[in-house]
A and B are shown apart, each in its own frame.
Chain A
Amino acid sequence: MRRILRTELRRGTAPWAAAAMCGAGVWMLAVHPEDWGGRWAGLVNYLRTSMLILCALMVAAGVWQAGRERRRGIDEMVGSTPRPGWQPILVAWLAVTLAGTVGVLVAFAGAGVLVARVATYAGDGWWWTLLVGVLALGTATAGGMCVGRLVPLRLAAPVAGLAAYLALAILTYADTKGAVWLTPVQGGQAAYQVVPGRVVAWQVGWLLALTVVLLALAARRWLAAALAGVLAMGVAVPIVTGPGPYRLPVDPDAVALVCTDTGPQVCVARIHAFLLDEVTPVVQPVLARIEGIPGAAHRAVDDAARPVDQPQLPGDGTIWLHLDGQPTVRGGLAKQDWLETDLRAVTGLNCTYDDHDREAERAYLTGGLAHAWLFELPASPEVPVDWLYALPMPAQRAWFADYLRAAAACDLPALTRLRQPR
């Protein structure tokens, strides 16, 4: 058995599967480094996001492997040997699964080296996320083997791959229902959120049972397939009827705050702590400019640490920074303009207004004036902030305090008045 496995690994579809999966893994990592940079849990979550493509490729590889005997015209000859039919299938499946998994893990291990250089929080729950991902690769290969054995079409490999992709994508659209746990694809989960252990256990059971079903179908072992199918459905029921991935629990250690020691307070979650040195020079000047102004924010905090039931409100004294999609591979800040967008919340209006409301439009123009003052932008015809800069600094700060008071109360007449030069 071991000799056959070695031959399959060297001469079968396995080496090509390993190369394709490694290439796909590297490509996926390269196109969105901001989704995983600097975070172990983010890297593993991204592996699960990439399952949308990786599983489709494994399905195609499985189909190709299973159709080899038919393509070579030796399927009848192999079938006439006394060796049980499930054995070559199992070995071929194992070879492709091992090779594909190694290919993916090599790519992600390379990314792991980059993460290790900057990560500030290790955590431990992500091992289970990784395990489910690896099992899913085996299930996908088994699905491909099943299709390859049962569908004797030349184009079975690409069509099955695309069909697998579509099926997984459709399941992920049900992102608030429990059924989404049936797919190994995990999208939209933050690195500091945790999948409950109960769900992981059910997922492991589901994927193992489904793998057995698919391999039994490929080997035409109908009884074994039926028994494993019953088991798979038994596992699927609690998954489908359980809660979906909406509002997953947060890892409290990952979101523990790490703050600056000097100057206006800037705090980030521990999992984002490697960004603190990058975030601080952008945020602290803004905080310093409004320090001491009544109603102005006095600190900036990572939104990861915001309690789920606490809304973001203008005038609550805190600027919430969204850092989930910010880290670069080297631990830098990917999009400084996103950070500036977060800072703009300081001058936000606590209003809901109609598009045709002229007074509200004028009020928003005043907001542009406040924004320009906050970031010390030059005057322009649309934002004539030069008259504000001409005032003494105490008067400028008093104007900004008036603005914040009017914005928090959505006092449109007051906001319109503040637009007039003094």
Chain B
Amino acid sequence: MNGRNTDQPRSRRNAVDRPPAATVPDGGGAVASRATSARRATSTGRRFALHLTARGGPAFLVGLVVIAVLAWAAGSWLADRPTFGGSVARIPVVALAPLLAAVLLGPSLAGADEELERGTPLPWRVWRTGHVLLAAVLSAAVLSLAGLADPHTFGAYALVRNTLGHTGLVVGAAALLGVRLAWLPAFCYGCAVYAAAPRGTDRVTAIWAWPVQPSSATVSWLVVGVLFVAGITGYVLRGAGGRHGRWPVLIRSRLSWR
């Protein structure tokens, strides 16, 4: 996790430090190349497993499954209530389950010591991209299972959209505020929009209240796309903010007392 020079056994370090396959004389070149590729794949796979473990991947996965199950149960219960109007009644599930999943993702966006990790010789931008994309796809896929029944009416599609949108918010906030407070903007925004319960589906409402719009609202998908791309870009380029994010020193000193 922290780089090949710090936490790998000596035999593995020797293997990684060997000359590349292109320098091996002809004849054994192809075999050596294949062996090197296999070793690299194994090494990457091992690093990936270590990365996920260090970032709380298993806990996130368990949390995600629990949220999906609860979302499915709550959605079914709401849709079956005769007075609530069928699948439309699943709005709370569509608004809150993706928010919760994105909040759970927050702590996984930085290691125990972000500055130490930055000092290791790994292509962190690639790792960050893979981490966030994998988490977003996994979250969207798992949560969409909860809304497969009548997916058009506040079902699977809206769950996917909201998962991507909230993930973008949390990831972008992690780059600005640090992982400790990465949940805050998405939490406040999600609560505010849901509390407002906007009844319109016009373009302006679809922009500011995309989590509670039907999945047929094209504008809401565009907003989510912008949030997702902006959030990921910020995180990939800058990584998670440190203990207090990337606020100016003055604000940081005020925050440090809380």
Contacts and interface: CB of A to CB of B under 8 A. Distances in A.
Interface stretch (A50-58, A122-130, A336-344, A359-367): A50-58
Contacts of B188: 20
Nearest to A50: B195
A202 interface: no
Contact of A11 (B107, B191, B257): B257
A161 interface: yes
A68 B258 contact: yes
Interface in B164-186: 180, 183-184
Interface string A9-24: 0011100100010001
Given A159-B103, A162-B100, A53 B258 contact: no
Contact of A13 (B104, B187, B258): B258
A301 B74 CA distance: 41
Given A154-B107, A155-B106, A155-B107, A162 B195 contact: no
B195 A155 contact: no
B245 interface: no
A52 B258 contact: no
Interface residues on B, range: 20 to 34
A78 interface: no
B258 A16 contact: yes
A31 B257 CA distance: 34
Contact of B258 (A12, A158, A159): A12
Contacts, number: 58
A240 interface: no
Contacts of B183: 155, 157-158
A183 to B, nearest CB: 16
B250 interface: no
A163 to B, nearest CB: 9
- Mostly, the A contact residues are helix
B197 interface: yes
B107 A27 contact: no
B99 interface: yes
A155 B106 CA distance: 9
Contact of B192 (A16, A24, A161): A24
- Of B99, B195, B257, the most chain A CB neighbours within 10 A belong to B195
A114 to B, nearest CB: 19
- What are the 3 tightest A-B residue pairs by CB atom distance, in nearest-first order? A31-B196, A53-B195, A158-B183
Interface of A: 11-13, 16, 20, 24, 27-28, 31-32, 50, 52-53, 56-57, 60, 64, 68, 71, 154-155, 157-159, 161-162, 165-166, 169, 173
Interface of B: 81, 92, 96, 99-100, 103-104, 106-107, 180, 183-184, 187-188, 191-192, 195-198, 257-258
6 contacts: A28-B196, A56-B191, A155-B103, A158-B183, A158-B184, A162-B99
